[in-house]
């Protein structure tokens, strides 16, 4: 008996899927008078993307990005409990088909909240294969789909990154692994994602050293590991130039978690590391609010320092919890925190190639599909409101004037000559010894300034 030729019978196209979200139309700007109703449960009250803020459209000042990992990969799992979200593309099934389903839902979310950018790790978008070659092929396949969806929708890539921390091969580090073969594997993985990011016209490429640190110094050659990390970063920068990638390479500081100590501890540490490796004009920082808190800093401190050092790159917007000392990655919802952070961003000249990436995850009990929409849209509106407050702070100039007056002495000939190195330590000492009057302390007026800032809300 002859078997029927396979080519004559084509598989039936998959049945159309029901939309994942209940919102059909993109969320619109309606202004502060907007009242929610059954037809339109949410509208932007502050995020008016075309409104000009300091000469730029709000969309360009804020450059919002949705992150792939928390929103579409995260399952709601915590150290004590299993998945709670039950996304249809999770669980058993063909992993590539699931990746494509996930991509459809992701681009639907971008459309509905009107997010201009997104971010991803290679492992978020496509399944890991049996070999690196296969994994890379999967990533490229999904990236091709992204490319088409991006040109259809106008959504852009804020940054891509490689996941060098989930697989057990990286348990002792990627670039800082005691085994050079793991270093090589990580390099191969980064090469692929950097090239994919370049092809998708990403504005930046991020390196977060999740496992680049140590659990105990007892088994760690710290000096050697730092040298490995420096070499790795140089390789990435060399390859960036070789392929002509014009985006910014960013390091994302974090002091700990998952490891006890991470080498990219905070902005100051990263700057020292860049200097030591001659990369301070090549690489900038992606600062995350919750990471700043874990390092014992405020978000605005890290932004101000990065601006002062000339390495400010981009922001991962989220927030930690006052009582929990770990990376809770909550969606930002504290107006004052956002406003003072945006004030530092604007003072530094804005986001440049960076953006506001919501590296934030839904709480474990927020299990409805629409919770993803609510979380992003409300966070976007809050950030827009924070931007407007920051604009007022900047335009009002009262804070800037206070600071200028406080440092006015350094603008005099005397102050300038000291800074220019025209006076020696001995000369300064002689001058002071000749004087009879002490310098007079002046108030820092902190409470008054805090009151001033409260008035901007
Ligand atoms: C981890 C973290 C990462 C980076 C990208 O705390 O923030 O998701 O943003 O690897
Ligand atoms: Co982050």
Question: 396, 419, 435: which is the final residue of a domain?
Answer: 396
User: Has residue 4 got a pLDDT over 60?
Assistant: no
Residues 344 and 422 in one domain: no
Euclidean distance between CA atoms 215 and 71, whole angstroms: 29
Work out which ligand 1 atom sits closest to the CA atom of 121: 10
Residues 183 and 252 in one domain: yes
Domain tally for the chain? 2
Residues 180 and 256 in one domain: yes
254 CA to centre of ligand 2 in angstroms: 9
Closest listed residue to residue 119, CA positions, set 21, 209, 20, 202: 202
Residue 11 is predicted with a pLDDT of 67
Residues 213 and 245 in one domain: yes
Identify which of 68, 165, 170, 208 to mutate to test ligand 1's pocket (most ligand atoms within 8 A of the CB).
Answer: 208
Identify which of 125, 161, 293 to mutate to test ligand 1's pocket (most ligand atoms within 8 A of the CB).
Answer: 161
Work out which ligand 1 atom sits closest to the CA atom of 254: 6
Residue 9 is predicted with a pLDDT of 62
In a domain, 276, yes or no: yes
> To 5 degrees, how large is the angle CA 207–CA 208–CA 211?
125
39 CA to centre of ligand 2 in angstroms: 35
In this structure, the residue with its CA closest to atom 10 of ligand 1 is: 208
The residue segments making up the domain with residue 95 are 52-396
Name the token pair of 439: 């310098």
In a domain, 101, yes or no: yes
Question: 396, 420, 439: which is the final residue of a domain?
Answer: 396
Residues 448 and 314 in one domain: no
In a domain, 15, yes or no: no
Residues 130 and 231 in one domain: yes
| Ligand 1 pocket list (CB less than 6 A) | 69, 121, 161, 206, 208, 252, 254, 288, 316, 327, 359
Residues 423 and 384 in one domain: no
Work out which ligand 1 atom sits closest to the CA atom of 288: 7
305 CA to centre of ligand 1 in angstroms: 20
In a domain, 138, yes or no: yes
Euclidean distance between CA atoms 235 and 223, whole angstroms: 19
Which position has the token pair 């008016």? 48
Residue 3 is predicted with a pLDDT of 46
In this structure, the residue with its CA closest to atom 7 of ligand 1 is: 359
- β-strands 56-57, 52-53: how paired? antiparallel
User: Has residue 5 got a pLDDT over 70?
Assistant: no
In this structure, the residue with its CA closest to atom 6 of ligand 1 is: 327
User: Has residue 298 got a pLDDT over 50?
Assistant: yes
Identify which of 266, 288, 314, 327 to mutate to test ligand 1's pocket (most ligand atoms within 8 A of the CB).
Answer: 288
* Cross-strand partners of 205: 160, 249
Residues 346 and 245 in one domain: yes
- Which tens digit of pLDDT belongs to each residue from 188-205? 999 999 999 999 999 999
Contacts of 401-408 with C-beta under 8 Å, sequence gap 24+, read 402/445, 402/449, 406/442, 406/444
Euclidean distance between CA atoms 147 and 157, whole angstroms: 10
Mean pLDDT of the chain: 96
Confidence of residue 342 (pLDDT cuts 50, 70, 90): very high
226 CA to centre of ligand 1 in angstroms: 20
Sequence-distant (6+) residues with CB within 8 A of 202 are 157, 158, 159, 160, 247
**Contact criterion met (CB below 8 Å) for 302 and 260:** no
Q: Nearest bound ligand to CA 70?
A: 1
Residues 268 and 249 in one domain: yes
What's the CATH code of the domain at 119? Answer: 3.20.20.150
In a domain, 258, yes or no: yes
Question: 374, 396, 418: which is the final residue of a domain?
Answer: 396
Residues 149 and 191 in one domain: yes
Residue 201 is predicted with a pLDDT of 98
In this structure, the residue with its CA closest to atom 4 of ligand 1 is: 208
208 CA to centre of ligand 1 in angstroms: 6
Residues 326 and 416 in one domain: no
443 CA to centre of ligand 2 in angstroms: 38
- Which tens digit of pLDDT belongs to each residue from 129-165? 999 999 999 999 999 999 999 999 999 999 999 999 9
Residues 170 and 245 in one domain: yes
User: Has residue 1 got a pLDDT over 70?
Assistant: no
Identify which of 65, 66, 69 to mutate to test ligand 1's pocket (most ligand atoms within 8 A of the CB).
Answer: 69
- Which tens digit of pLDDT belongs to each residue from 69-106? 999 999 999 999 999 999 999 989 999 999 999 999 99
**Contact criterion met (CB below 8 Å) for 408 and 400:** no
331 CA to centre of ligand 2 in angstroms: 12
Would you give the DSSP letter of residue 374?
A: H
286 CA to centre of ligand 1 in angstroms: 10
CB-proximal residues (5 Å) to ion ligand 2:
288, 316, 359
Euclidean distance between CA atoms 267 and 447, whole angstroms: 28
In this structure, the residue with its CA closest to atom 8 of ligand 1 is: 359
In a domain, 243, yes or no: yes
Handedness of CA 171, 176, 177, 178 (dihedral sign): negative
398 CA to centre of ligand 1 in angstroms: 36
User: Has residue 13 got a pLDDT over 80?
Assistant: no
In a domain, 317, yes or no: yes
Polymer length of the chain: 457
386 CA to centre of ligand 2 in angstroms: 20
Instruction: Please give the share of the chain, as a percent, with pLDDT higher than 90.
Output: 95
């Amino acid at each position: 008996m002859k078997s029927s030729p396979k080519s004559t019978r084509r598989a039936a196209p998959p049945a159309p899927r029901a939309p994942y979200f209940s919102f059909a139309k993109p969320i619109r700007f309606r202004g502060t008078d907007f009242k929610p109703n059954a037809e339109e449960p949410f509208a932007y009250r502050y995020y008016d993307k075309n409104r000009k803020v300091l000469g730029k459209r709000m969309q360009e000042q804020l450059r919002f990005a949705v992150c792939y990992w928390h929103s579409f990969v995260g399952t709601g799992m915590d150290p004590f409990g299993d998945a709670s979200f039950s996304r249809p593309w999770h669980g058993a099934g063909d992993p590539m088909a699931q990746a494509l389903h996930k991509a459809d839902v992701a681009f639907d979310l971008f459309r509905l909240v009107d997010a201009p950018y997104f971010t991803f790790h290679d492992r978020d978008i496509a399944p890991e294969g049996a070999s690196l070659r296969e994994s890379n092929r999967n990533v490229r396949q999904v990236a091709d789909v992204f490319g088409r969806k991006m040109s259809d929708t106008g959504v852009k890539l804020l940054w891509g990154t490689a996941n060098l921390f989930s697989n057990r091969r990286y348990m002792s580090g990627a670039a800082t692994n005691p085994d050079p073969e793991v270093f090589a594997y990580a390099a191969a993985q980064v090469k692929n994602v950097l090239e994919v990011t370049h092809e998708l016209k990403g504005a930046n490429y991020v390196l977060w050293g999740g496992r680049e640190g140590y659990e105990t110094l007892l088994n760690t050659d710290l000096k050697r590991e730092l040298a490995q990390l420096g070499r790795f970063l140089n390789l990435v920068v060399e390859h960036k130039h070789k392929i002509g990638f014009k985006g910014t390479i960013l390091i994302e500081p974090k002091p700990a978690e998952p490891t006890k100590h991470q080498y990219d501890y905070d902005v100051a540490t990263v700057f020292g590391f860049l200097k030591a490796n001659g990369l301070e004009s090549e690489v900038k920082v992606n600062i995350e609010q919750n990471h700043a808190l874990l390092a014992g800093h405020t978000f605005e401190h890290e932004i101000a320092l990065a601006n002062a050092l000339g390495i400010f790159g981009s922001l991962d917007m989220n927030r930690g919890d006052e009582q929990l000392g770990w990376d809770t990655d909550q969606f930002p919802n504290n107006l004052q925190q956002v406003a003072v952070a945006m004030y530092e961003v604007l003072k530094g000249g804005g986001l440049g190639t960076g953006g506001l990436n919501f590296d934030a995850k839904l709480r474990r009990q927020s299990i409805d599909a629409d919770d993803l929409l609510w979380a992003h849209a409300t966070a976007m509106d809050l950030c827009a409101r924070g931007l407007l407050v920051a604009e007022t702070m900047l335009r009002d100039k009262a804070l800037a004037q206070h600071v200028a007056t406080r440092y006015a002495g350094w603008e005099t000939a005397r102050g300038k000559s000291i800074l220019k190195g025209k006076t020696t330590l001995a000369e300064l000492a002689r001058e002071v010894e000749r004087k009879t009057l002490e310098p007079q302390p002046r108030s820092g007026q902190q409470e008054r300034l805090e009151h001033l800032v409260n008035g901007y809300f």
